[in-house]
Amino acid sequence: MFAVSQIIARNLHRKEACNQALWINPEKDDCWREVESICPSLKLLSQDYGVTDYLKRSSAEIEFSAFPEAGDTKNQWIILNLPRQKALLEMMLECAASLLAEDGLLWLAGENKAGIKSADRRLKKYFGRVRKLDSARHCTLFEASEPLAGQTFDPASYREEWLLDCQPTPIRVASYPGVFAHGRVDAGTALLLDVLTDMPIEGEVLDFACGAGLIGTCIAAGHEHARVTLLDTSALALKAVEDTLASNRLEGFVLASDGLSELSGSFDLIVSNPPIHAGVKTDSRLSMRLLDSVHDHLNPGGRLLMVANVHLPYENWLSQRFKHFSELATNNNYKVLLANK
């Protein structure tokens, strides 16, 4: 069991049976079974497709969604696993407060290195009472109650919309806290977009690990013969993608997938600024693992175009899978690599 789940599990003796409970973003382990034994109507929600898929396989009923739905009755107990980004924590606390019954309890659990120790200040913005329940295994568990009256939660109030001057057609980008490079373009993505400016693009295109959908939407906006699929594991990213496409009156196929697990069909171009963070560590093996079967999803003559940190060793990995690859652009921090099937 993950340490965060362990600190929740060792405090369950404090809880009485309850009718309605919600756990937002449980870990990939079995702790939900222990919580469910106290509250049989426990609802699970994850913003991560990989976690959702894992827990479904272990027979949990879990919803994959950017935000929990407000039901007819409020929850007596909500557990929230601490997200790493502060802006996302703010948003999820406001969301949780709006879903909690007046006499309900919120548990917020997280690792000390993810910043849980200072979370009580944020909790006090949304709850009248906040106390530390436990601290162990480099984790802390807070309990909050008395959600401040009159709180309504509107995800749209957290959405940022901005103009991305990509070529040949600028687009509007929508994003939410927790989405990669929220409200701006990442420097690696910008280098990739520069390279795309001069490329002829048509046919089936996959934006792998699309975030708010900048790359795929730029392609859809500027290349009328391109059909774009945008894939990510984050429900918040996919919500942003849907808003981004709608803002530009463009269509695309939006797919939730952990790596390429849910992908069928093959593509003429797969383009990506792939994830390289496993927790806090930078590790190119994550994207190599996620993209392991990328070759199988390319049509004959198809291309893989990716941007990577200059010091990450993708070249060996590419040479084992592709006959040809080349570096199309580089600067002090990033390189853009093109591989042909």
The DSSP 8-state label assigned to residue 263 in this structure reads -
Check residue 106 for interaction with ligand SAM (CB under 6 A): no
By rule CB under 6 A, what string of x and - marks binding of each residue 276-305 to ligand SAM?
--------------x---------------
Residue 241, CA distances (Å) to 87, 211, 307 in order: 19, 7, 20
- DSSP secondary structure string for all residues of 144-186: EEEEPTT----GGGG-EEEEE--SSS-EEEEE-TTSTTTTS--
Task: Find the shortest distance in angstroms from Cβ 201 to ligand SAM.
Answer: 16
Query: Token digits for 237?
Result: 């990213």
- Taking CB under 6 A as the rule, does residue 201 contact ligand SAM? no
From 7, 78, 214, 255, residue interacting with ligand SAM (rule: CB under 6 A): 214
Q: CB–CB of 217/196 below 8 Å?
A: no
Cα–Cα distances (Å) from 320 to 80, 288, 295, 315, 326, in that order, read 42, 12, 11, 9, 14
Closest CB 84 distance from ligand SAM, rounded Å: 12
Minimum CB distance to ligand SAM smaller for 141 or for 209: 209
245 contributes a contact to ligand SAM by CB under 6 A: no
* Residue of the chain from 104, 259, 306, 317 that contacts ligand SAM (CB under 6 A): 259
176 is a site residue for ligand SAM (CB under 6 A): no
List, in order, residues 6 or more apart from 216 with CB less than 8 Å away.
Answer: 205, 207, 210, 228, 229, 230, 241, 252, 271
Q: 215, 254, 312, 339: which one contacts ligand SAM (CB under 6 A)?
A: 215
- Chain residue whose CB lies nearest ligand SAM: 211
User: Is-contact 55 27, C-beta < 8 A?
Assistant: no
Return d(Cα 291, Cα 205) in angstroms, integer. 15
**Per-residue tokens: 146:** 């008395």
> Taking the CB of residue 93, how many other CB atoms lie within 10 A of it?
24
Give whichever of 30 and 258 is closer to ligand SAM, judged by the CB atom.
258
* Candidate residues 101, 181, 195, 250; the one interacting with ligand SAM per rule CB under 6 A: 181
Q: What tokens appear for 265 in the block? A: 């069909």
**Amino acid code (one letter) for 203:** G
Question: Does residue 173 belong to the site contacting ligand SAM (CB under 6 A)?
Answer: no
Residue 202 parent element (H or E) = none
46 lies in the binding site for ligand SAM (CB under 6 A): no
- 210 binds ligand SAM per the rule CB under 6 A: yes
Binding pattern for the stretch 133-172 against ligand SAM, x by CB under 6 A and - elsewhere:
----------------------------------------
Among the listed residues 186, 194, 242, 283, the single contact to ligand SAM using CB under 6 A: 186
Point out which span in 80-88, 123-131, 178-186, 240-248 binds ligand SAM (CB under 6 A): 178-186
- Give the footprint of ligand SAM on this chain (CB under 6 A): 50, 180-181, 186, 189, 209-211, 214-215, 232-234, 237, 257-259, 273, 275, 290
